[in-house]
Amino acid sequence: MKKGFALFMVTVGCIISISACGRNKTTEETGSSDTVKEITVGESKKPAASAEAEEKETGSPASVSPKSYDRITSKARVESYGGTVKIGDSAYELYNYVDSAAQNYASVVNHVASRLKGKADVYDIVVPTSVGITFPDNKTSKVNSSDQKKSIRSIYRKMNRQVKTVSLYDTLMSHRKEYIYFRTDHHWTDKGAYYAYRQFCEAKGLQSHELSEYKQQDFGSFLGSFYLDTDHNKALRKDKVKAYFPVDNAGITMTYHDQNGGRYTSAVIANGRKYSMQLKYCAFLAGDNPYTVIHNKKRKDGSSCVVVKESYGNAFVPYLADHYEKIYVIDYRYWKGSISDLAKQHKAQDVIFINNISMTRNAYLIGKIAQIK
């Protein structure tokens, strides 16, 4: 009976995550609308000094010097479904930078960093979404979506010096032709999360594992949130959910608490083949749960961290399990408490905020995280 109830709660959590993971559903929730002026990628010719001055004066993201990346193009037309667009066999969620929301998000991270000064290192990871990385270059003028590199740079500039920011934009752009985002869903793939893990390890001074060190498993076909957003558009190509298991997987246990206070155990990465085609992403961390504790019994060094996340963090956290004895995972949309107090209680050395960039313009979600700082 417990197993059946747990699976039901995981299912409910994943269904909720389709609309709660920083999605741009309403103007009221995000504090923005789809009429925000487009920022065209790489068009500014201004030197860095004047770009920085522009940001201070206008509150808009400063211009960023363009780098050379592999080019992605498409001959398909852009089809609009509100905040989601489809090109060929792939869909994307549009993103608009909102300076006031970015400031509010940064203030939450700054507050936690100030409270934990001298006790824990605070990291912030703002994850670009697929529209900022894999969207065809020759179609950017056809959509109203802000430059995510500029936006992330602006968000990070609002954070104080105690916050260690981890920039993923260049890393993900250097792998943009790989399968790092789903075509039918707003999440990144496990491989995309792997590149973020490597970047975090570099920032922290850890030795990351190579992909060849992980056991990989294919969980089959997946149709996610964009499939629903585009009215079950048959032109979208089915995704595949693959998972890289922690190197120490045999010695890692996980306990999670659901929204009704129930306590359950699960693998860090469950058997995704048991989930329906729409819920395959729930294999990571058993979906979206308020509070999760991961214990690596092979480590005896007292290392621990607190991870503050929405569902983008689900595919990222399992990589951390090889590097910490204990990981305390908070989904701020559902958890009640204080991030700072939890970190102090468990003597965590690190607090890691990981959120997709759409969350940082969503007034409702920023309000939720502000309640638990």
* pLDDT tens-digit series, residues 57-66: 333 344 444 5
Angle in degrees, CA 20, 25, 26, rounded to 5: 125
- Provide the token pair at 156: 């990070």
pLDDT in tens, 93-119: 999 999 999 999 999 999 999 999 999
| Stretch 152-177: mean pLDDT | 98
- Provide the token pair at 80: 């609009």
Percent of the chain with pLDDT over 70: 82
Pairing of strands 239-245, 263-266: unpaired
Within a domain: 343: yes
Within a domain: 289: yes
Taking every pair of Cα atoms in the chain, the longest distance, rounded to a whole number of angstroms, is: 64
Within a domain: 147: yes
Nearest alpha carbon to residue 269 among 249, 251, 255, 288: 249
Contact 134, 93 (CB under 8 A): no
Q: Is the pLDDT of residue 23 over 70?
A: no
- Provide the token pair at 112: 């936690």
Q: Is the pLDDT of residue 152 over 80?
A: yes
Within a domain: 36: yes
Match 């920085």 to its residue by tokens.
Answer: 52
pLDDT score recorded for residue 271: 95
266 is in which domain, residue-wise?
A: 2-42+58-370
- How many structural domains compose the chain? 1
Within a domain: 53: no
pLDDT score recorded for residue 68: 85
What is the reported pTM? 0.84
Within a domain: 50: no
Q: Is the pLDDT of residue 185 over 90?
A: yes
